[in-house]
Structure 1
Amino acid sequence: MFIAYIVVSSLLALVCLASGTAKVTSQPALVEQLGGLGVAAKHVPLLGALLVLGAVGLVVGIWVGALGVAAAGALALYFVGAIITHLRAGDAKGSVPTVALTLTSVTALVLGLLAL
């Protein structure tokens, strides 16, 4: 289970790091897209920072198991919030990638728990 945790967590961390970095740097296209979902531009860097911290937590969690489990759980909650944001904005189709990331986060959480 530990190797599966490393693989899933590493891939999820890469995606979160890329997305988080784009949000922290307030990429104009991303800010505009999120604005269409009702997210204020001033909140975009904070959302990015949460993703970057989650990615760091997943990577450090390879050595400190409890931190990885906590990071995976926090990311799952983050992505559930993102799904709700998409659905409230009437963007059900746009929430599909977020559903996949939620399921990946839950998978990392379960694998992390099994590896403890």
Structure 2
Amino acid sequence: MFTAYALITVVAVLANAAVAVADLLGARFVLANSAEVGVPETWLPGLAALKAAGAAGLLLGLLGVPVIGVAAGTGLVLFFIGAVAVHIRARVYYNLAFPGGYLALAAASVVLAVLR
């Protein structure tokens, strides 16, 4: 069970860290998606900070502070539920798999952390 937890959590950490960097750098795909779903550009640094904090917390959980890992994973689950809701509200369904994928990774890391 630990192997599955470690693998999923590492993927979640890398994915969230990468998208946080993309948010901070104002990557073209981030700006286009944000505009399409109605998220102001001024929110991107804050959203990036939340994703980066979640990634850091997941990593801390993996490195031996499980309560931080579960809290960070739970925070990311809530964050990406919000992202999915924003996509649905804006009726932008074609790329719903992206926030849905991040949501699935965060949820899986929380479940596996609790079960291990």
The two structures have a TM-score, normalised by structure 1, of 0.91
- Corresponding pairs, count: 115
C-alpha separation between the residues in 2 aligned to 1:104 and 1:30? Answer: 20
Q: Which runs of 5+ in 1 are unaligned?
A: none
Give the Å deviation of 1:23.
0.6
C-alpha separation between the residues in 1 aligned to 2:30 and 2:94? Answer: 17
C-alpha separation between the residues in 1 aligned to 2:99 and 2:12? Answer: 12
Does 53-62 or 92-101 show the bigger shift?
Answer: 92-101
Q: List, as ranges, runs of 4+ consecutive aligned residues in structure 1 with deviation greater than 6 Å.
A: none
Give the Å deviation of 1:96.
1.7
Distance 1:11 1:29, change over 3 A: closer
Equivalence map 1:71-82=2 (5 Å):
71-82=72-83
Q: Which residue is 2:69 aligned to?
A: 68
Q: Which runs of 5+ in 2 are unaligned?
A: none
Give the Å deviation of 1:101.
1.9
CA contact (8 A) 1:25 1:45 kept: no
Q: Which residue is 1:102 aligned to?
A: 103
Q: Which residue is 1:41 aligned to?
A: 41
Give the Å deviation of 1:15.
0.5
Q: Over aligned residues, Cα RMSD in angstroms?
A: 1.3
Task: Report the identity percentage.
Answer: 30
Q: Which residue is 1:8 aligned to?
A: 8
C-alpha separation between the residues in 1 aligned to 2:42 and 2:109? Answer: 30
Give the Å deviation of 1:32.
3.1
CA contact (8 A) 2:84 2:100 kept: yes
Per-residue CA deviations over 1:59-84 (Å, capped at 9, x if unaligned) read 11111011111111111111111101
CA contact (8 A) 1:26 1:45 kept: no
| Paired amino acid for 1:70 | A
Give the Å deviation of 1:28.
4.2
The two structures have a TM-score, normalised by structure 2, of 0.91
